[in-house]
A and B are shown apart, each in its own frame.
Chain A
Amino acid sequence: MSGDSILTVEGVEAGYVKDLPILRGINLAVRRNALTAIIGPNGAGKSTLIKAIAGLVPVSAGTVTLDGTQITGIRADRMADLGMAYVPQTDNIFKTLTIRQNLALVLRLSRRREARLEELFALFPPLKDKQADPAASLSGGQRQMLAVAMALAREPSLILMDEPSAGLAPKAAAEVLDLAHRLTREGVSILLVEQNVKQALRVSDHCYILAEGRNQVDGPAADILADPIVGEIYLGRRRMNDA
Chain B
Amino acid sequence: MIGVISYLAFFGTVAAILAIAVLGLNLQWGNTGLFNGGVAAFFGAGAYGAMMLGGPADPQQLGGFALPYPIAFAGGIGLAALVAWAVGLLTLRLRHDYLAIATFGVAVALEAVARNAEWLTGGAKGMRGFPRPFEGLFADQFTYNLAFLGFVVIILIAVYAGLERLVRSPYGRVLRAIREDEVAARALGKNATRLRLEAFVLGSAIIGVAGVLYVSFYAFISPQDMAPILTFQIWAMLIVGGAGNNRGAVLGAFLIWGAWTSSGFLLSKFAPTAVQIYTGPIQYIMIGSVIVGMLLWRPQGLLPERIERTKTGNEAPGENASQG
Distance (whole angstroms) from the CB of A95 to the closest CB of chain B: 16
Segment with Cβ contacts to A, from B29-37, B143-151, B276-284, B310-318 = B310-318
Please state if A43 and B319 are interface contacts (CB–CB under 8 Å).
Answer: yes
Contacts of A45 in B (CB 8 A): 319, 322
Distance (whole angstroms) from the CB of B116 to the closest CB of chain A: 41
Please state if B317 and A43 are interface contacts (CB–CB under 8 Å).
Answer: no
- Counting chain A CB atoms within 10 Å of each CB, the highest count among B314, B315, B323, B324 belongs to B323
Q: List, sorted by A's number, 25 A–B pairs whose CB atoms are closer than 8 Å.
A: A16-B317, A16-B321, A16-B322, A17-B314, A17-B317, A17-B318, A20-B314, A20-B315, A20-B318, A22-B315, A22-B319, A22-B322, A42-B323, A43-B319, A43-B320, A43-B323, A45-B322, A47-B319, A47-B322, A47-B324, A48-B319, A57-B322, A89-B323, A89-B324, A91-B324
Please state if B324 and A16 are interface contacts (CB–CB under 8 Å).
Answer: no
Partner of A48 from B311, B314, B322 at Cβ < 8 Å: B322
Q: Does A15 belong to the interface (CB within 8 Å)?
A: yes
A-B contact count (CB 8 A): 35
Main secondary structure of the interface of B (DSSP, over half): helix
Q: Does A51 belong to the interface (CB within 8 Å)?
A: yes
Q: Does A90 belong to the interface (CB within 8 Å)?
A: yes
Distance (whole angstroms) from the CB of B70 to the closest CB of chain A: 50
Interface residues of B in 232-255 (CB under 8 A from A): none
Contacts of A51 in B (CB 8 A): 322
Q: How far is the CA of A199 from the CA of B283 in the complex (A)?
A: 68
Interface residues of A in 33-53 (CB under 8 A from B): 42-43, 45, 47-48, 51
Contacts of B318 in A (CB 8 A): 15-17, 20, 22, 48
Q: How far is the CA of A43 from the CA of B321 in the complex (A)?
A: 10
Contacts of A43 in B (CB 8 A): 319-320, 323
Task: Sort chain B's interface into a size bin.
Answer: 10 to 19
Contacts of B311 in A (CB 8 A): 20
Contacts of B317 in A (CB 8 A): 16-17
- Counting chain A CB atoms within 10 Å of each CB, the highest count among B311, B315, B319, B321 belongs to B319
Partner of B324 from A15, A20, A90 at Cβ < 8 Å: A90
Contacts of B315 in A (CB 8 A): 20, 22
Please state if B314 and A47 are interface contacts (CB–CB under 8 Å).
Answer: no
Known: A20-B315, A89-B323, A89-B324. 11 other contacts (CB 8 A): A15-B318, A16-B318, A16-B321, A17-B318, A42-B323, A43-B319, A43-B323, A47-B324, A48-B322, A57-B322, A90-B324
Q: How far is the CA of A95 from the CA of B156 in the complex (A)?
A: 54
Contacts of A16 in B (CB 8 A): 317-318, 321-322
Interface residues of B in 280-324 (CB under 8 A from A): 311, 314-315, 317-324
Q: How far is the CA of A15 from the CA of B318 in the complex (A)?
A: 7
Interface residues of B in 73-90 (CB under 8 A from A): none
Q: How far is the CA of A51 from the CA of B320 in the complex (A)?
A: 13
Instruction: Considering the complex, give the chain B residue whose CB is closest to the CB of A52.
Output: B322
Contacts of A91 in B (CB 8 A): 324
Contacts of A42 in B (CB 8 A): 323
Distance (whole angstroms) from the CB of B163 to the closest CB of chain A: 30
Q: How far is the CA of A64 from the CA of B157 in the complex (A)?
A: 58
Interface residues of A in 71-91 (CB under 8 A from B): 89-91
